[in-house]
Structure 1
Amino acid sequence: MINQLIVNADDFGMTQANTIGILVAHKEGIVTSTTCMMNMPYAKFALKQAQHYPQLGVGIHLVLTVGRPLIDGAHSYTDEMGNFIRPKDYPDGKPHGDVNELYREWKAQIEKFIEIAGHKPTHIDSHHHVHLLPWHQEVAKALAKEYDLPIRQRHQIIDTYPYIPVFDKMYDEDVNYQYVTEVLQSHSGALELMCHPAYLDQRLYDMSSYNLPRMKELEFLTSSQIKSFIQENHIELINFSNLHDNFQ
């Protein structure tokens, strides 16, 4: 059984409704952490709203596969309209491009976070887990070192690493009490559980094929059943900022 749990809601700032859903999942449920997509039009709204919830850790969800880049000249990752190329439009389903462009784009996303929030993100992860692709790992590691931040699934890209949570996810048909409690019982120490709770608006419905299940996630994460399980098993709810002393 784990003794510490980070529940991280991805896609903060993607739409207004999904952002509000994540905040509700924190205020009324077990979400402790979220990661913001800085190239989305609701990123500023998300970070400003998060200031009302000081116990919510807010990291950065580095983006490379949806929306538009923040920098000029990111041609190797964009289509003729200037939008990021979606994974399905790459020959192997995975983004490829110039790593110098990638570094500048992801650094710009981090800097925009700091400019709006007034502080660094709590940690780094990425939309569609693109920071874990072998040809992107050096950029992810360089930025983590530059900003002194932990990375989601760090053990996959750095052989020697300090204390960092193991990673698991709750998704689609696995959004249920039996599955999640089995996950919590199958690990020890600290665990990060990835989720995508949301309310649904037209923008989210149009942008993501994973839309309606997000409302089911929100209902589950705020349920008395899962909150009671956490309490009865003395699982401490934390976010990545609580790991910083161990991360050094």
Structure 2
Amino acid sequence: MIVNADDLGMTHGVNRAIFKGYDDGCITHASIMANGDSFDDAINGAIEREGLGIGLHLDITYGKAIIEDSLYCDSDGYFKLEYKDLIFRKDSQFLLAVEREWDAQISLVLSSLPQDRILTHIDSHRHIHIIPHLYPIAVKLAKRYNIERVRLIKEDFIDSMRIARRFNFILNKGIIKYTILKLFTMLNLKQEDLYGDRRFYSILYTGVVDAEIIKRVIESKKRYEIMVHPGYPHLEKDTQFYDEEDRDYRISDNRMRELEAVLSIKRDDIK
């Protein structure tokens, strides 16, 4: 089973929580933002933890770009597009610019890690790589850099309800995100599948993983990737975020609850 922490490198507090979850809990992998404000700290922590699987958290909507391009950046070099904008940007010039930016993000991470450290996977901030005309770019780059796994949302609605045993996916908008990403995943599976037979958990119940959920996934005896976003909200009160949605998400008490969840179980218990 994979327990993957997203957003490594976003902030110092995020890094501390993810590394704590690896050192003392059940986190097995982390996805790093090459353009994150705390990227250098994230790299140093990853180097110290050779067993932590490191993948790319591709980005084209949050923070500062590696390659400044007016197609997706404002005049200060910060990403200016939102998720809904990306859905309709299919022109070849834009897609080539995205490929160059994502290639630069991967290259930066690889050049910052020891030469023998492989990248285990690709995913993305807000799952932008799953947008059907962006997904082929992620697959192309995965093959270019010998990265074996590219996240797809192979989450089963009934399984997730059985695992979570709650119905608040309506209140937290999880059903909307789930429906969109499942549709995109179905379209992407017609192109190529680098995710395999692994199941995915925590879109329908996004951001609210607890210890009981992890235990039920373990008990299911199925191959899963659980996505988590642990954090220390008290460390983020004065952090500069680039949009209110990410700020609200990161200062939520759910970030500490997810950290407590991954700390309640050891990696040896999920193998």
Tell me which interval the TM-score lies in, with the shorter structure as reference length.
0.7 to 0.9
User: 2:199 pairs with 151, 162, 166, which one?
Assistant: 166
Aligned to 1:129: 127
Aligned to 1:208: 247
Aligned to 1:106: 102
**Matching of residues 87-236 of structure 1 within 5 Å:** 87=82, 90=84, 94=87, 96=89, 98-118=94-114, 119-149=117-147, 150-153=149-152, 156=185, 157-159=188-190, 161=193, 163-169=196-202, 174-186=208-220, 188=222, 190-200=223-233, 201=236, 202-203=238-239, 207-211=246-250, 212=252, 213-223=254-264, 226-227=265-266, 231=269, 235-236=270-271
Question: How many angstroms apart in 2 are the aligned matches of 1:87 and 1:103?
Answer: 17
Equivalenced residues, count: 222
Sequence identity (%): 31
Q: Return the letter of the residue paired with 1:113.
A: V
**Matching of residues 61-100 of structure 1 within 5 Å:** 61-72=57-68, 74-87=69-82, 90=84, 94=87, 96=89, 98-100=94-96
Q: Return the letter of the residue paired with 2:102.
A: W
Question: What residue ranges of structure 2 are gaps of 5+ in the alignment?
Answer: 155-184
1:85–1:183 Cα change, 3 Å: farther
| Alpha-carbon offset, residue 85 of structure 1 | 2.1
Question: How many angstroms apart in 2 are the aligned matches of 1:13 and 1:148?
Answer: 22
Question: How many angstroms apart in 1 are the aligned matches of 2:17 and 2:140?
Answer: 32
| Alpha-carbon offset, residue 204 of structure 1 | 6.7
Deviations 1:124-157 (A, max 9, x none): 1100100100110121111011112121118732
Question: What residue ranges of structure 1 are gaps of 5+ in the alignment?
Answer: 237-248
CA RMSD of aligned residues (A): 2.7
Q: Return the letter of the residue paired with 1:222.
A: L
Question: How many angstroms apart in 1 are the aligned matches of 2:6 and 2:43?
Answer: 14
Question: How many angstroms apart in 1 are the aligned matches of 2:125 and 2:76?
Answer: 21
User: RCO greater where, 1 or 2, for CA within 8 Å and sep 6 or more?
Assistant: 1
